[in-house]
Amino acid sequence: MYIRSTAAISAQKTFGYVPFLTEPIEYTGTRLSAIEPDYKDFVDPKLARRMSRIIKMGVAAAMQCLKDAGIEMPGAIITGTALGCQEDTVSFLTRIIELQEEMLPPTAFIQSTHNTVAAQIALMLKCHNYNNTFVHKGISFESALLDAIMLLKEGDANEILVGGTEEMTDTAFKILTRLGLYKRWPLSNFELYNTKSKGTIGGEGAVFFLLNDKPSTENLAELVSTKTFYKPKSNADIEKQIEAFLAKNNLTIQDIDLIITGKNGDLKNDAVYEALDGSLFANSSKAYYKHLCGEYPTSMSFALWLASNVIKRGEVPAVVADGEIKNKSPKKVLIYNHYQNSYHSLMLLSAC
């Protein structure tokens, strides 16, 4: 499977034709907000008025991805999101209380469903092809990607648009902070990994990819394989899963030029990666990314965007390097991420 194009809206300058993370943005706080583009280039202003932020971000990223690939009509549209359109959900629930369950305006309810982003993209494109949304918590994007791979292998669709979307609302941020997911005092995102404490920083974003099964020099990278596993028993079990994943693709850890990990600054979360750093990953070049986009259930989509560009551009941005990078132009990249040590994901990419 090949990644033909990708577009990302994140807390960094990643959208459109911009330098590759040469001007990283520093934030001080416990939450990163996406840098939104000028939507009038992608959405009719009259339509945009009725769209929440996540719908506009998803539509813009999808349209830019299709434009970069030179594709007008995708063979399928598949998205992954854990929490869906939170802004519309909160708005609808608030109005239920305020209006005492009477005369409720339907717009917020209609747009609060998780599949709204994929549906809106299809409506704008007049696309009647396969359309699906996966809501699988920490592996929502990975599930969407797996569905796309199966469609391609079965020959049911080609030129498949796959995306991961997530937004952070004030309400959700307060609740998740109380649950201990985020740090309780402000800090620089550039100092995230130097602060050994509980919690991380919140994030959001919308990242889309166009997948096909046609080799081309214009493709960004080859998506060789992907795998998920749930609640491993121990760090040794995680090592076995990674080694088996590589062995299935006739590789060992020595064949990997760069490993992108999901470190997020949380003491408990990063203990898994640090254990691997002292064993399986000890002699490997490593990178991280969550100080740029924040932590959210579909952040793996940002990692895939990063890996695709690293391979295509033949460079590893200094801002993501975790120590010395031995091969400055990686050809084989492994991504390993876990969400709350329950949902574990692996992706293997290679140069075309």
Domain ranges within the chain, ordered by starting residue: 2-212, 221-350
- How many C-beta atoms surround the C-beta of residue 63 within 10 A? 20
Q: Could you give the CA distance from residue 232 to residue 243 in angstroms, rounded to a whole number?
A: 14
Stated pTM of the model: 0.94
- pLDDT, position 110: 77
Which CATH number among 3.40.50.2300, 3.30.1360.120, 3.40.47.10, 3.20.20.100 corresponds to the domain 221-350? Answer: 3.40.47.10
- pLDDT, position 138: 93
Helices (H), ranges, the chain: 45-48, 53-69, 86-98, 107-110, 116-125, 140-154, 170-178, 235-248, 267-277, 290-293, 300-313
pLDDT tens string, the chain, 352 residues long: the values are 999 999 999 999 999 999 999 999 999 999 999 999 999 989 888 888 888 899 999 999 999 999 999 999 999 999 999 988 878 888 888 888 888 888 777 777 777 788 899 999 999 999 999 999 999 999 999 999 999 999 999 999 999 999 999 999 898 899 999 999 999 999 999 999 998 899 999 999 999 999 999 999 999 999 999 999 999 999 999 999 999 999 999 999 999 999 999 999 999 999 999 999 999 999 999 999 999 999 999 999 999 999 999 999 999 999 999 989 999 899 999 999 999 999 999 999 999 8
Query: Is 221-350 the same fold as 2-212?
Result: yes
- pLDDT, position 89: 81
* Residue partners of 282: CB distance under 8 A and separation at least 6: none
- pLDDT, position 100: 83
CA 104 to chain centre: 34
Q: Could you give the CA distance from residue 319 to residue 195 in angstroms, rounded to a whole number?
A: 17
Angle among Cα 266, 268, 272 to the nearest 5 degrees reads 105
Q: Could you give the CA distance from residue 67 to residue 112 in angstroms, rounded to a whole number?
A: 27
- pLDDT, position 49: 82
Fold of 2-212: Peroxisomal Thiolase; Chain A, domain 1 (3.40.47)
Using alpha carbons, select from 241, 245, 235, 237 the residue that is nearest to residue 276.
Answer: 235
